A and B are shown apart, each in its own frame.
Chain A
Amino acid sequence: MATIVKMPKLGTTMTEGTIIKWLKSEGDPVKKGEIYVEIQTDKVNIEDEAETSGVLRKIIAKEGETVKVGDPIAIIAEEDEELPDLENVDNISTQNQEKSPQVFQQEDKTEAVKQTISDKIKASPAAKRVARENQIDLSNVIPSGPNGRIVERDVLSYIQEHKVKATPVAKKIAIERQVDLKAIQKSPGQRITKQDLEDQIIQDVDNAVDNTIPVIGMRKIIADSMTYSKKVAPHIYLSLEVDMSKVIDLRERLIPLVQAQHDVKLSYNHILIKAAATALRLNPLINSSFTEEKIILKQHINIGLAVALKDGLIVPVIKDADKKGLAFIAKETEELVQKAKSKKLLPDEYQGGTFTITNLGMFDIESFCAIINQPETAILAVGKIIKKPVVIDEEITIKPMMNLTLSCDHRAIDGAVGAKFLQNLKQILEEPVNMLL
């Protein structure tokens, strides 16, 4: 039987998903459980498994299209099975794309169908299936079966009678260009022609505007949470510069050892995670979250590292960073960053952070102020290591300096408390042996 595949709900907050890539083409066989489509949710990319076996007969949601959870994305059916009415299926996909007023009418109608089906109308399972596939309201169908039961033939003849009349060429163009035939007004009995369709397409083009990026998925989450943080949390910003000489030296010496142990290259971010975790242990208030009633000092030190993606950012979390060695932090961080970049992070891997580090040094940024990742109370913005003239013992020497800017939520953290943490962090980085304490 033909299965209309719907956009799956892949997480509790997921309301819509975007088709990244169809791994199968129309006409390819798919097996139940086989990965056949990549879907982007608000957080991650997920490879979705086919819920049934058959042939991928029709792709309704094209690559790049965003579809509400529960709306159809494809049809899997037997190779030579007759598909549910393609015109109507096309309408569905057009609806999701354009969200025109007609869409809502159509959706109301679908809702009505669902209600009627579950209501008191007697119809055979086959009649219900055909009605469902063709979005027919069974209350409009005249029953001919025993005991007033609507049977399949009743629905089929209803469809036949209420078909939108169009020439074969017009139908073909409508499918190719995803034009809703029902949107074209024609006097009763008259067929929609190729000309009508071309007029409609021109009209649609006239209505088109500039390129837009829909604020959905990850974009929407970022927009909402940044606005929220700036709205509820009064930020204070504390900056200082750190002499990175010893960290550079330490890193040089550790690179081959870490490489040998875990086959990853030790980076400044790894050392910063370890150093920040050590400093957080000394300053528990920085590792907290704020609620209206209380400040919660977090038991675990879970450090998030902001990772830039092509079209957004995500913060994978290194759990219990204070209890882990540098080599292990390096390995775990790189694994998480790779997963983040391919959008394969699991919820557990980007949730539960207690403090965030964001580093824009690789873009030559010297210093910047970050927005706190709620419900955390502080975030550390890291700049580029730059050789600078500094005065030591009345002498000007050249030192590799790095700017650190801590953003604190003043509701929880006063200036002096944040400063103390930053000072500790500076001491640790300038004398990395402190990390062993």
Chain B
Amino acid sequence: MSDATTTLTPPAREAGVPKLSVDGLTVERSLANGERIVAARDVSFDIAAGEFVCLLGPSGCGKTSILNVLAGLDRPSAGRALLDGSPIEGPGPDRAVLFQDPALFPWLSVRANVELALELIGVDGSERGDRARDALASVGLSDVLDAQPHELSAGMRQRAALARALACEPSVVLGDEPFGVLDAQTRELLQNEVQRAWMGSGGRTTFLFISHNVREAVLLADRVLVMSARPGRLLEEFRIHAPRPRDLDDVLVGRVVSEIHALMLRDLDGSDA
């Protein structure tokens, strides 16, 4: 029986070259009125290959900004972001991104969306059809291969996005609160889907999800990195040892959830004072 324990910041460094590494990262964002705000300040953490990490924090703590830097979509103002020890220069299919919006292309069918992703990584035309069908079948979408994205429910669209991401066999999956707008039941189904995908990858795929939902973070992650309110910095790290697949009714899961909740509330109180 595993057990849920807490370790204190700074996070323990893993042995060897981490899969993802963030070192003294500061990210600024421009607002519409031209003002610049510091979204995240001096954040450092490492993620080992095959790990599932959740970056948890209140809205506006800069967690999306950090994820976008790791995705290669944005540049940091200071500090470094590394993939396998090398600086991240831009986006690439080795790092799949699940956005809050499923970001399926509305002019393509569900199947064609996955096929396009395969085409972009250079999969042969003859193979694409089968691989797309398999990927969609693995998330339970065999019945709607030829539907257009707008004909699916929000949950099915996010499932299709997950299939599109996993079909390309990325080494990293970055999730930007991909289930944030779904209803509780659908969200739970998709969380299970993600857990299965991660377990099925047998340590080949590293997952980094960001979330403001404590239960989701504890349910999914090996490690939960808790961020402060803006400008976000790392407050504390929790290592979750509960057995998988996890269940929110699990006592250990429940205990860590309340502990993290308390920590986040203390931080919000402090920053408001």
Q: Do A and B come together as binding partners?
A: no
Q: Which residues of B contact A (CB under 8 A)?
A: none
**Measuring CB to CB, which residues of chain A are less than 8 angstroms from any residue of chain B?**
none
